[in-house]
Amino acid sequence: MPTDSKMAKFLQSYGYDLILGSIAAIYVVMAPYTKVEESFNVQSMHDILYHRLNFNSYDHLEFPGVVPRTFIGAFIVSFIASPVVSVISWLGFPKIYNLVAARLVLGCIILSTLRFFRIQIRKNFGHQVESFFVLLTSLQFHLLFYCTRPLPNILAFGLVNLAYGNWLKGNFYSALSFLIFATVIFRCDVMLLLGPIGLQFLMTKSISFWKALKYCVGTAVVAVGLTISVDSIMWKKFVWPEFEVFWFNSILNRSSDWGTHSIHWYFTSALPRSLLVAYPLSLLGTLLDRRVPFLILPVLSFVILYSKLPHKELRFIISSVPMLNLSAAVAASRIYNNKKKAIWKLVNMVMLALFAISAGCTVVTFMASYNNYPSGYALKRLHQISPNVAGEEWVHIDTFSAMNGISRFCEDGFPWR
């Protein structure tokens, strides 16, 4: 029947996106609150959606944070989310529903960039590798949990996905342009990925040095002009946010004030937790397909270079996960294709067992994260109490509460203030 044919075609085109999107959406609905790392973009989206052009009421003017951040990501997400937010507000739902809507929009943006990368995987490595790529991504907790969180790392992550896709597509100059935009506007540390990738392009003669220089300088000038123009208006002073972040974290090394880890932490803790079964498979993938080492080496160089910075967090290297998943998917596909052979049969059984263990680890990690926003749940419980008073009830939000779940989106109206 024509309807069945259309449905089959739709699922063939977007089935994987529905799987990844559904998992990400479950994470949003079950854990809608945010942490201190997301606070700037969360409050910015709130102010753009509610205060609009009344810049004097914006949260960042009262609570600027340690370093300024760009408004560009918050503007993009808020613009796309605004129709849905208007309907939710008109229906009278609490503001937390609008935070969920904004986060779902961000997730759609990030997963659409991952889709672009996935399509290039299919074209270069085949449908089966693409299927294993989706399976491995689904079994991992952090990528799909983080993809809806308005962190500067995640906004940069979307551009990195586009860079990866253009890399596989052979559009090397476009790949460099996306990495430069990510570096200049959202996360200056993407330069640690830009450098190794650009160097490999030059060594493999994929690009011309002078043409690349022209493209990179032109892109950087446009990106710097964009962020300075937008953010100087919003911050009411001349500012290039990511340059100040770079100076604070890298030159002054002040990020160490927020804790440090050993130099091997990314390889012995962060990557094993974020990749799970894909971690050993990604190493195997470099041995099974001669194309993979050229893709993995710059990404590993990025992680190695980042390891020299004492302050470490998993989200800092989240951009390495898709490419490592590609390597793991290549290995998983090869193991599956040879599963009837003696030694490969055993390897296949071990891989399936690791798939199951990874799924269990993801469930446990999610349950831990679900309980990681105590002040968000506390404020929700407070709002459920109906005070028998005629006037306003003032609630003080202390530092711990503001760091662990509460944002402007969590505030209810009268009688609470």
Q: What is the mean pLDDT of residues 116-137?
A: 96
pLDDT at 230: 96
Dist CA 75 CA 322 (whole Å): 26
pLDDT at 175: 96
Q: What is the mean pLDDT of residues 4-24?
A: 87
Q: Is the pLDDT of residue 246 over 70?
A: yes
pLDDT at 6: 80
Average pLDDT of the residues of the chain: 92
pLDDT at 22: 96
* pTM of the entire predicted model: 0.94
pLDDT at 386: 67
Q: Is the pLDDT of residue 2 over 70?
A: no
Q: At what angle do helices 96-125 and 2-30 cross, to 10 degrees?
A: 130
Least confident of 142-146, 247-251, 279-283: 247-251
Reported residue count of the chain is: 417
pLDDT range class, residue 12, cuts 50, 70, 90: confident
pLDDT at 177: 96
With beta carbons less than 8 A apart as the criterion, state whether 295 and 200 touch. Answer: no
Q: What is the mean pLDDT of residues 184-196?
A: 95
Phi and psi at 277, nearest 5°, equal -65, -25
Q: Is the pLDDT of residue 28 over 80?
A: yes
Q: Give residue for tokens 């999107």.
A: 21
Q: Is the pLDDT of residue 335 over 60?
A: yes
With beta carbons less than 8 A apart as the criterion, state whether 404 and 373 touch. Answer: yes
pLDDT at 80: 96
Find the DSSP H helices in 207-291: 209-235, 241-246, 265, 271-275, 278-288
Q: Is the pLDDT of residue 388 over 80?
A: no
Identify the burial level of 101 via C-beta atoms within 10 angstroms of its C-beta, where 0-12 means exposed, 13-18 middle and 19 or more buried: buried
pLDDT at 412: 82
With beta carbons less than 8 A apart as the criterion, state whether 401 and 375 touch. Answer: yes
Whole-angstrom CA distances from 186 to 68, 152, 233, 245, 290 are 11, 5, 17, 10, 33
SS3 267: helix
pLDDT at 263: 92
Summarize pLDDT for 144-189 with one digit per residue, the tens: 999 999 999 999 999 999 999 999 999 999 999 999 999 999 999 9
Summarize pLDDT for 35-78 with one digit per residue, the tens: 988 999 999 999 999 998 888 889 888 888 888 999 999 999 99
pLDDT at 340: 87
Q: Could you check whether the bond before residue 196 is cis, i.e. omega within 30 degrees of 0?
A: no
Q: Is the pLDDT of residue 1 over 60?
A: no
With beta carbons less than 8 A apart as the criterion, state whether 331 and 280 touch. Answer: no
Whole-angstrom CA distances from 10 to 137, 204, 390 are 21, 39, 55
Q: Is the pLDDT of residue 387 over 70?
A: no
Phi and psi at 163, nearest 5°, equal -65, -45
